[in-house]
Structure 1
């Protein structure tokens, strides 16, 4: 019977709170002693509430009167008196009745008024769990239906509920707090933080009940949206609690704790407190969570590690803790969030020169090449992977990159019609850097065909996209001397001539220099040489020469003036 009542009381209508209130106030812990007749009356009562008839209040009174007069409630009374039970004080009973009347008639009009506040104070500070549950239900209903800041005067009774020893009160009040701290209720965060609302939350975070833990840590997560409250959390000792909760058997508690720590790690001021010298428990725990079977936990662990990896020392410690094999596994995850989080963390780690030799291992390069092949249209994957390969190519391990599938993967991403400008910039920049080495150029030429050649020429001609244009032209310039490339380039003579003319008239000297260098190399081929003679190339080169001479004369005059 009790389960039937709880199922009704779990609904969100305004009658749920006063239903549970009156039952608890009338019978307390004796509900399990009811006879069959009284149980049937309660069943009828439950059905009656569900129909929500207009004479609901009168029906409640009649039902409770009949049950209260039954002899079944008088049985075993001597045994019951041997146990301690909170006594329902007369003023509490009156308050409960008045509270019921307010719920019925005045909730929608004045849920935060003076009268319900006084009633909430009485119920919240009562020793009777039933009355506390009624107050908790009221706050829960407010948090779900009223999107306004919670007045400061309502916080005192609310904190009393958070400190309750009753599990149901803890569950409902902690869930209410999560709702009160949702986006849009920013003033609630400041008020709760200023009124020391963090302390009861930290106590609830250590609860043995998973639901209470989830609600408490979820509320703490919402509090960390405020930098001011982050400092309060640190001061109140939240960091050790959250770190230990990372090892919780409940994946939801793990996730909320990790997300909370990620928010705090985004503020570098907290790093010293989070990573005490000589105590890297948090770091090791986060790295272990990378192997979690729950995607959102492993993804959030990557985010937290990325936020913490702001110094070379911390990055080196992560690499030393054998983080690389775990990240390689995450790159092959079926979850987009996990892939994005892991590639972003790898990008951070690849920026430090001391990590580059370790990261440029065969396994990681194979994983990066496969990642590009499988997700060539994903701008996050393409952009970060290209940056990682470029960072690693600056080390002595460039030959490993050339021998891996990374070069082919980068070239193939350029063919994607969905590629964004930023992604193209990172890809062409990486390939242009690799092309400075002859071995890498030979590798590129091996994969070049008509579609790729057309793509490179097209990118070089898009002068509105400055960086991809320059880098694509640089790649072409490095590949000109190879026999396989000349036939491919000759089919795009007009397009190449057009972008070279644009380069020669470009305001940036680097474009002019690249245009002249490319012109000189192509002119060695008879067909290109003939095409150039029929164009405006000679006239443009003469203009560049004159500008150069004028610049040199001005420089000589300036130097002479300084010497004098």
Structure 2
């Protein structure tokens, strides 16, 4: 049936073309048919995606989206020049066309070798178009644009473009919406951006920590928001500016003043979810940085036993960052005498001494090899130097 369907694309009848695009979409949803559709149908579909008829354009874009569901058909699609067409369709007045084209681009962006083509249109056109769509009043379009930007954010050029285009402002606006879907999509993108050290100072300067503090105060039911909020704070603390901001501004001061017992309970519970190391680490990182005010101590005391349990697991972990976080948490919580008393003669204290002994032994061994010359450590390096 594919041959007569593709022949009828040339009919000029918009109604027929619209239905035929829908037929091709249904055919291409089957993996066994997708190769035939890809080989013979891409060029006609790209032509119809530029149609002035809204329904034809919508169904043609829908069909192109289905052709991005496999690596092979995606590669053929990109070779045929689909990327510029899909990027232009992001600016369509039809919200469905926007959604289909954005989803197709997101699928293409998942394969990093396509990034040069995606970025080949000058003037930061793709980044600008996605940022515009991110501010759409249509929720699925806004969230899909965030998802596409998150996928692209692994590329250094996209990171630089997004910072240059002041992406933080619209993302902060999404954080303040009443819809958790919008908030979760924005916080996920910001979390991806914070993973790149060059962006951290910009995020701090834009007051992102203030917004994160408010999120942790108001969104206690979304594990996505809590997880990525904790992750962002942890990443921003890797820079000197971020550390200073956390010490002087929200979320530390804000949380210390406004955090509720329910939120403390949730953070402690998430910290103990050892089966999910990232979630556990990021949640525990927040507890390690809470200011030990009288009110905060009052909120934390009922959870000291649980905290000690996960700290013991951290100290036994082979990953040094967990051991370091455990020690940092103990240092913070020992400001309360009750916590110090709980540690006395405990397994945690015994483990701390063992970690200390291991560290001292490592330091001693390193001192033994320190006097060695460069040539004895790496002769090749020495040859290259001279």
Pair 1:377–1:459, CA change in 2 (3 A): farther
Does the alignment pair 1:321 with 2:165? yes
Does the alignment pair 1:171 with 2:18? yes
Structure 2 counterpart of 1:76: none
Alignment of 1:184-195 (within 5 A): 185-194=30-39
Q: Distance in 1 between matches of 2:4 and 2:339?
A: 79
Shift of 1:315: 0.7
Structure 2 counterpart of 1:486: 337
Does the alignment pair 1:308 with 2:161? no
Q: Distance in 2 between matches of 1:359 and 1:552?
A: 41
Structure 1 counterpart of 2:283: 427
Aligned residues of 2:28 and 2:37 also touching (Cα < 8 A)? no
Higher CA-based Rg: 1
Structure 2 counterpart of 1:452: 300
Shift of 1:388: 1.3
Count of residue correspondences: 354
Q: Distance in 2 between matches of 1:210 and 1:352?
A: 40
Alignment of 1:272-291 (within 5 A): 272-276=116-120, 278-291=122-135
Structure 2 counterpart of 1:218: 62
Q: Which runs of 5+ in 2 are unaligned?
A: 377-386
Q: Distance in 2 between matches of 1:488 and 1:499?
A: 12
TM-score by length of 1: 0.56
Q: Distance in 2 between matches of 1:418 and 1:479?
A: 17
Q: Distance in 2 between matches of 1:453 and 1:312?
A: 44
Pair 1:264–1:238, CA change in 2 (3 A): same
Pair 1:391–1:501, CA change in 2 (3 A): same
Pair 1:193–1:418, CA change in 2 (3 A): farther
Q: Distance in 2 between matches of 1:362 and 1:452?
A: 31
Q: Deviations over 1:341-398 (max 9, x none)?
A: 2112212222333222211036322211111122234222222211211221222322
Pairwise CA RMSD of aligned residues?
3.3
User: Which of residues 449, 470, 475 is equivalent to 2:329?
Assistant: 475
Q: Which runs of 5+ in 1 are unaligned?
A: 1-153, 436-440, 506-511, 514-543
Q: Distance in 2 between matches of 1:360 and 1:232?
A: 42
Alignment of 1:386-465 (within 5 A): 386-397=230-241, 398-407=243-252, 409=255, 413-416=263-266, 419=270, 420-421=273-274, 422-429=278-285, 432=288, 435=289, 443-445=291-293, 448-462=296-310, 463-464=312-313
TM-score by length of 2: 0.80
Q: Deviations over 1:329-348 (max 9, x none)?
A: 11123333322221122122
Q: Distance in 1 between matches of 2:33 and 2:304?
A: 55
Alignment of 1:245-264 (within 5 A): 245-264=89-108
Q: 248-257 vs 206-215, which deviates more? A: 206-215
Alignment of 1:48-447 (within 5 A): 154-182=1-29, 185-194=30-39, 196-276=40-120, 278-361=122-205, 363-397=207-241, 398-407=243-252, 409=255, 413-416=263-266, 419=270, 420-421=273-274, 422-429=278-285, 432=288, 435=289, 443-445=291-293
Shift of 1:255: 0.8
Shift of 1:430: 5.2
Taking CA–CA contacts closer than 8 Å with sequence separation of 6 or more, which of the two structures ends up with the larger relative contact order? 2
